[in-house]
Chain A
Amino acid sequence: MAEFECRLKKYRQMKDLTQEQLAEKVGVRRETIMRLEKAQYNPSLKLAIDISRAVEAPIEEIFVFK
């Protein structure tokens, strides 16, 4: 199985967003953002795209499958 790595924290901090703000922007709970940053949750395509738009970074840079 491919190893999942999430670089969301880096991109979020680059945009000066808190987890709460990002969660609100993409319409999820803060806990979901936390899980994502720990690479413990595999997001849906829609959520991945929403996050990518929110932090203005390419989706393949944020979510990496090795």
Chain B
Amino acid sequence: MKTNKKKIWIGCGILCVLSVLLSSWYAVAYNDSRLVVPMDFKDYVFDIKDLPMIVSLSLICVYLVALFVMLFIHAGKKQRQEVETGVTRKINPKLGCLGVLGFLGFAGFWTYPVDGTVFPFAFFLFFGFFGFYYEGKTSGTFMDERFRENIARAKLKAYRITFGVMLAALIILCQGKLFGNLEYTLIAAIIILSLALGLGIFLSEYLLFRYDHDDQAEEGGE
């Protein structure tokens, strides 16, 4: 993306956030904190003073939707470019640090006893982002037929391991005797499925790096 376009998007984002902050301040100062504090929308009646908050929230929603659409189109363009040039996409290995987000999954052990929320367990999936480190290491590589074979080999092995782990875990959990409690069993299923999918994402990149790197390590130059 061009720097000018990037600046425009960032600027719009900052404006949207500022408008939400300003309208929140206005609602707190002059509108009894309506639409800022949790309220019962069953009895909601529109008030002209709600307008700034409604407009700023709508703005930020439109911005987020536009941002997602733009990112989606950009990703598609990059993928097409990758196919046309035959070179792997450029990624910074430092993006592998995003795998740390996987630790957010442990938040589930806190939220479940507090209010029964289980979705944070799904964050274990983010451990798969550690794979960006290895993708970054192989980024910008020319994809000849052997490299493409290695991609297919790595993906196949990763899927086999992932589905193997998922199948084994589900068979064990479906016995229903592990925890003696259906809720705990389902939580364990969420955790294992998230971890297994994360493993699949990570493994396909790691194995590709290994196949390619091992080849290079044992070869001499000429």
Which residues of A pack against B, CB within 8 Å? Answer: 18-20, 27-32, 34-35, 38, 41, 43-44, 46-47
Contact = CB atoms under 8 A, between A and B. Distances in A.
11 contacts: A19-B222, A27-B144, A29-B146, A29-B147, A31-B215, A31-B216, A32-B147, A35-B215, A38-B219, A41-B146, A46-B145
Contacts of B222: 18-20, 34
Nearest to A37: B222
Nearest to A33: B222
A47 B219 contact: no
B145 A28 contact: yes
Interface of B: 141-142, 144-147, 212, 215-216, 219-222
Contacts of B215: 31, 35
Contacts, number: 35
Contacts of B144: 27-29, 32
A51 B144 CA distance: 14
A31 B219 CA distance: 7
Question: Which of A20, A29, A41, A44 has the most C-beta atoms of chain B within 10 angstroms of its own C-beta?
Answer: A29
Contacts of B221: 19, 30
A31 B213 CA distance: 10
A32 B219 contact: no
B145 A34 contact: no
B145 A43 contact: yes
B53 to A, nearest CB: 58
Contacts of B220: 34
